[in-house]
Every structure is written in structure tokens, then in C-alpha cells.
A and B are shown apart, each in its own frame.
Chain A
Amino acid sequence: MVILFSSKPSIIACGAVAGPVENKSVFYSYFDSVSEDERWGQKTNEQGHSKMIQEACDIVMKKADLKNLDVDFFLSGDLVNQMTPTNFAARELAISFIGLFSACATSVSSVIIASLLTEVGASQFAIAGAASQHNAIERQFRYPIDYGAQKPATAQWTVTAAGYALIGKHDPALPSVVAATVGKVVDYGEVSPFHMGGAMAPAAYDTITSHLKKRHQKITDYDLIMTGDLGKIGLKILKAMFAQTDAKQEELEVFRDAGAEFYGEDEAFQSGASGAGCSASVYFSYIEQQMKTGRYKRVLLVATGALLSPMSFQQGETIPCTAHAIEITME
């Protein structure tokens, strides 16, 4: 389903924070702050996760010269059960809060809601984004952190990072949201939590083709189509899907993936990065800055999410996925 934003809400400011392992990221220099401690001085991983979210939001407000009182809405989510790190951060931020779960696609779904609130005039300033903390999530979804499990080449590393954007009224000097596509849930029968890229690629394909069709656009109308965390292998699969439907080589060059590039060529991270914080931290730092410098004029950010739980996997279910897209332009 495509939404058109005639008022073109703008991204006024962004904040991206990451953890110690992320100093290996190729996007490191674009982040606002990188912590040496994966728990931000807190006792548990979940508390550290929460502190990281707060810090990212504080950075956003500082950049826009706003106080918590001035912000109308806080829209966010994470991958921990019941999103408690986000909930506790929301308590500290004391901003009207809507929690959202789109797994790793929350970075974009939150911006879509924030843009809608701005479009109808309900919100002057809304903070939207997502975050993930490696330890808290691996513990919940896979194995204890110190367990010696062997991972296949398709596995991805959950990042410790948070990315938030302040959405407000249109400003021609800033990147603006002109349209969005809310993804459907797509399930092509993938069962392995170690092959998320393969699970999510069909959802990304569905959302992108749907957006292009409803907007009467071609791939080359965009300077960049960046998916969230398909990873190196998932991105190849996505490109192959488009190649199958006769996309040309120069069209395929438009595609990039935040997860595939996040840790560069380091093989320790296998197929690349994943996690709600992956797309969020890259979109709301690197992409925002590239658009402000004029390198990209029209981008489609397609965050992908795998909607499984540890129990659904144990019950033998497949992995249903979704992808949400926002179209951002810079005049």
C-alpha cells in the first residue's frame, strides 16, 4: 500500500550511536557516538540497550535545539521481548510513546508513522527510529553468548547500534519524505534463522516492485535503493530476482544493502550485519549526510524484517518477513 505525503515532512536531525564492536564498521565515522562499553555502564545488557536508545535520542534533540517537552511523539521498537529496552527509554524520555514492532524494519515503519502524524498536523516534532544490542538479542534468539556454536556463511551479526530521526514540517533545505510503502508479510518457506537474507529478500522484492508500480517509477529514477539487512548473500539474491525480470546491469548498481556493507569484508561477520539498529544507524547518519551533501537526490530506503520468534522456530514454523519503504528526496 503506497502513501503519498503531499506536505513532504522533513528529516530535521539524526542521531546514531553504536557499541564497541562497531568501531570496525565502515560507517564508523558517520556515527555520532561509539561506546567502548557494550552496556553503557549499566549492569545488564538490556539496561545498556535502553541507555543507548536514550543517548541517541538526546543527540537528536540537542542537534535540533529541542527539549523533551518540545517533542510530540516518540516512535520506536527493538527486538527484545515486549521491547522493554525501548519502553524503559521511553519512560526516561517522557515523550508520548507508541511502541512498534516490525523486527529489523522498524527503522522505516516508525518514520512512516511519524510522517503520517506530521502530515495530518498532529505532530510538530516526532522522533522515530530503532535499535538493537547484540548480547540481549543473541541470548533471546539464538545461543548463550559464550557458547561455541558454528555458524554458516549465510549467518549475520546483530549490531549494537541505535539510529533515530527527528521528523517535522517540510524544509526545502533538508531531506524530505515524499512517499512510503507499507509492506505485506511475505513468506517463501525459509526455516533457518541463520539464513535471514534468504528469508527476507522476497519481502524486499515485493515492497520495491509495489512502490515502483504505484508511483509509476523505474529503478533508475532513484540514485539509491538501500535495503536494511539482507546481507551480502541476501542482496545477491535480491539482485538476481530483479535480473530475472529483465533488470539491466546499470539498474542493479542502484541497489545497496546496509547490512552487507556494515562490517566491510571482515569474514568474522559472515554475510554481514543485521538487527533493528543496522538499518537505523546507517540510514540516520550516513544516508542523511550523503543527501545533505547532494550526492543522493532521490533514495528509497527499504528496511527488511524477519517476523519470527525463538518459539516459532522450535515449533517448526517458517520465517514470515516484511519490508517497509520510504522515498526521500532532496531538492
Chain B
Amino acid sequence: MDPQEYQQIEQQITPPTPYLKNALKAFLVGGIICAIGQAITFLYIIFFDFTDITAGNATVATMVFISMILTGLGLYRKLGAFAGAGSAVPVTGFGNAVVSAAIEGKTEGFVLGVGGNMFKLAGSVILFGVGSAFFIALIKLILVSMGVLEW
């Protein structure tokens, strides 16, 4: 049987990706996580006298803390299996990626295992985040010094 014939059979039988269902699940879970974040932001502003900006930072840190607990208890896995991008895209997903890799690396010790493996999944986010920020700021700086743009 040649590969083309095989591809046809395989495609016929393989269940198609449920695009709509996945998008809906991502929307719901992602939306709820952000709504929870909004609640936390309000709490910080009302009860702790934070400003809008500092409340935003505190919210992100709090959500990472929550994802640490959920990851450690094995619950974030189940959420992720259901929600896909709905749980991977919020910062809680970033926290989950770092924390899960850190916990798993424990068997190789804290230096090589935890430290060496912690950024297995999240490292590229940090790299590209920093890299793109650098280039964008640099480009704007150049354009401003050329007089094309203003700050």
C-alpha cells in the first residue's frame, strides 16, 4: 500500500479535531480565570490600597501562587486536559509549566534537577518576551532619535 492511499485511510478514521468545542472550552475557562483575576485585583485595590498598576502586579503573583497549589495537588493537570489554551494562556499556565517542571526535577537534586529543568517549558516564553521587548524598544529609540516618532 502506498503512503498516499494510507494517508486517505488514516484521515478517514482519525476523529477530526473538535475545533468549536475546544475554542468554547478555552473561552469559558480562560474567561473565568481572568474574571477571578479581576476579583483579586479589586480586592487588592479596595482592601489593601493598591493602585491600578501595583494591583495588576500583585494579581499576577497571586495567580501564580494559586497555580502552584493546584499544580502540586495534581489538579491543574485535569484543568489543562479539559481547557487547553484556556488554562495554558493565562499566567496560571505559565506558573503551572514552571512549577510542574520544578517538582519533577526533584529526583535529580535541587541544583541539577530542579534548577536545571525548571524552565524546560517556560524558558522560551522568557527568551522571546525579553528578546522582542528589547528589539521593539530599540527600534522605537532609533525612530525617535531620527525624528520619525515621538515618545
Q: What residues of chain A have their CB less than 8 Å away from a CB belonging to chain B?
A: 43-46, 139, 143-154, 188-190, 195, 198, 201-202, 205, 233, 236-237, 240-241, 244-245
Contacts and interface: CB of A to CB of B under 8 A. Distances in A.
Interface of B: 1, 3, 5-7, 9-10, 12-15, 17, 22, 71-72, 74, 76-85, 87-88, 93, 96-97, 99-101, 103-104, 107, 120-121
Given A139-B104, A153-B15, A147 B80 contact: yes
A243 B6 CA distance: 12
Contact of A195 (B9, B14, B99): B14
Contacts of A198: 10, 14
B97 A147 contact: yes
Residue from B12, B77, B88 with most neighbouring chain A CB atoms (10 Å): B77
Contacts of A144: 100-101, 103-104, 120-121
Sorted nearest first, the 4 A-B pairs with minimum C-beta distance are: A148-B80, A150-B84, A146-B100, A144-B100
Contacts of A236: 13
Of B6, B82, B85, chain A has the most CB atoms within 10 Å of the CB of B6
A146 B96 contact: yes
A151 B101 contact: no
Contact of A149 (B3, B7, B81, B120): B81
A146 B14 contact: no
B9 A147 contact: no
Contacts of B84: 150
B77 A188 contact: no
Contact of A241 (B9, B22, B77, B104): B9
Given A148-B88, A150-B83, A237-B9, A189 B3 contact: yes
A145 B102 CA distance: 11
